Structure 1
């Protein structure tokens, strides 16, 4: 039964009960006892206190008071304090006359009116202050939760948008590679199609994931490099410098493949004699460091961070890790370009 009572009514009951207990305590402390008249009068005040505050609360809820300006809410606060105090006073006076002796009965206005109203106004002001502050905190908390949910939704949509752009971007480049092999070497073209099928199957499995472990990403990269090796043959050399402890660490899906693709497209393919791609993965202090080193030199939008692949890498790192992650690409020396990705371990 108690579970059906709302939090609001629990606060009402406990709050007015606490008011009565405090009054009884002081009455007993100063007078040594209290009569039935005092107790009944206290119960009447409790009753009309609940009636007044609940009635006025229902009215202001319909008026959407929380949409008012601060100045309007302050005026509303004073109006509610006075109104609920007057309701309690009038209710207590009228109902009290029903059980008072004729010589004890009071008029609505007499010399004791102000003496009775002041403490009632104090109690109602406390009630409404708690009510306003409670809702202010509640709205602030809900607003913060809604903001976090919105940010999470926006981040998810942006990640999905980037991934939906990455796959067609990669497929277009892969199909161009296969097209170059169709007339020259049909057998190798068929092998290339098989490699592409493996890559697409792997990429579809991680499409809904925000991160995948490095080992799964490396499998995609190896299939991609096998495909590119058919086209470049001895012009493409690949080396791996992978710390086994990093294989289970999470990274954004297709990120490593995108960086390797960028290294081949803008580095190896532009060098007549080809070159080497070195893929590294290590733990540096509190970060997971991934390095892509390739033969070539930075030049043009695609290799200075304004190409699609590099922009998508920056965006996804920012969305997933904020300023805790970083991505840089630069000329390591006169023959080599290095891309470094740092992601937090925690």
Structure 2
């Protein structure tokens, strides 16, 4: 039953408002009609209220069917406006004709002899017609207002869904940029060691396999735990140390309370990879990469520093840096930040991610 209502909720809402609206109008008419000369206690009066309700529901329901066929908010023009006004006019005439005819029929054949109050003697056909037009016009304005509001809400939801789809597509593209970069460096390392040390090459392939499995299984996610990301970082460092040996020193300072926090996958690994490629590999004596993760107020602060100087080649695409910035912007908007600077002979990259 609930699924049926969900599929037909707009029809349900319309009929609910339709009956409640006309019922409310009848109640107001009953409450504010003066009880003069016994008119309010007569059957004729109650027949009039019933006819107002039934004729109102019938007339405006027919008008609604007409408006649904005529109105196209995506291409609204003057022709549609003229059709709407014509529909209102016809509906008002129908409402007036049915009301007047029913009133005349009941008044003529009713067995009650009710003295009509003096105030109704001047209530002529013209005034009845104007009253019918005002009633139908008011109903139409309300109906159109609801339709416009529903259309605007539908457009808003459609734009939100489109933006979400676009954002997801952009994220998938960005994530796709990480894997080839990572694979290229790893395969280069394997190629360099293949002829020198088979055992090390085999160990390298094992680490590479674990990292590739990780990247493939987490590639469709926008967030993973910090603990999972650190496992991949440890694999990458172990892989890199086979190449750099004593030239690479890795220090890790992780607040244990942050291990369960969610972060974008492979974002720390990319920072570590950049620190290795653009920092340590350019130093003959090697250097140190330090990873710090801690909670500061309502933010997760991730800092990766490496020995060296901040030098960006003119022909560099800075793909890694752009990748990080775009992913943070797409996922967190202005709430997240990324900063890269040189401090006392070290290159320091800092990411801050909101925790809520």
TM-score using structure 1 length = 0.89
Please, which moves more after superposition, 316-325 or 150-159? 150-159
Structure 2 counterpart of 1:230: 242
Structure 2, unmatched stretches of 5+, are: 6-10, 114-121
1:339 is aligned to 349
Name stretches of at least 5 consecutive residues in structure 1 with no aligned partner. 105-109
Q: Is the 8 A contact 1:266 1:302 kept in 2?
A: no
Closer, same or farther: CA 174–31 of 1 in aligned 2, 3 Å: farther
Q: Larger deviation: 1-10 or 324-333? A: 1-10
Offset of residue 41 of structure 1: 2.6
Partner residue, 1:121: 133
Per-residue CA deviation, residues 245-273 of structure 1 (Å, 9 max, x unaligned), is 11111110000001100000000001111
CA contact (8 A) 2:67 2:84 kept: no
8 Å CA contact retained: 1:28, 1:34: no
Cα deviations by residue, 1:18-44 (Å, 9 ceiling, x for unpaired): 111111112255666342222223322
User: How far off is 1:138 after superposition?
Assistant: 1.3
SS of residue in 2 equivalent to 1:134: helix
Say whether 1:99 aligns with 2:102: no
Q: Does the 8 Å CA contact 2:70/2:84 hold for their aligned counterparts?
A: no
SS of residue paired to 1:91: helix
What displacement does 1:111 show? Answer: 8.1
Q: Distance in 1 between matches of 2:101 and 2:124?
A: 15
Moved more, 75-84 or 134-143: 75-84
Pick aligned residue for 1:10 from 11, 16, 40:
16
CA spacing shift, 1:72–1:343, aligned 2, 3 Å: farther
Q: Is the contact between residue 49 and residue 88 of structure 1 (CA under 8 Å) also seen in structure 2?
A: yes
Alignment of 1:188-337 (within 5 A): 188-301=200-313, 306-333=317-344, 335-337=345-347
**Aligned pair 1:20/2:26, yes or no?**
yes
**Selected match of 1:145 from 136, 157, 164:** 157
* Structure-2 change in CA distance of 1:46 and 1:65 (3 Å): farther
Contact 2:70/2:83 (<8 A) preserved: no
Matched, 1:87 2:98: no
Once the two structures are TM-superposed, the CA of residue 340 in structure 1 deviates from its matched residue by 0.4
Taking structure 2 as the reference length, the TM-score comes to 0.87
| Equivalent-residue separation in structure 2 for 1:196 and 1:300 (angstroms) | 28
User: What CA distance in whole angstroms lies between the structure 2 residues aligned with 1:190 and 1:233?
Assistant: 16
In the alignment of these two chains, the number of paired residues is 339
SS in 1 for 2:108: coil
Given that 2:207 and 2:239 are in contact with CA atoms closer than 8 Å, whether structure 1 keeps it comes out as yes
**How far apart in 1 are the matches of 2:74 and 2:234?**
59
Are the equivalent residues in 1 in contact too, given 2:329–2:336 (CA < 8 A)? Answer: yes
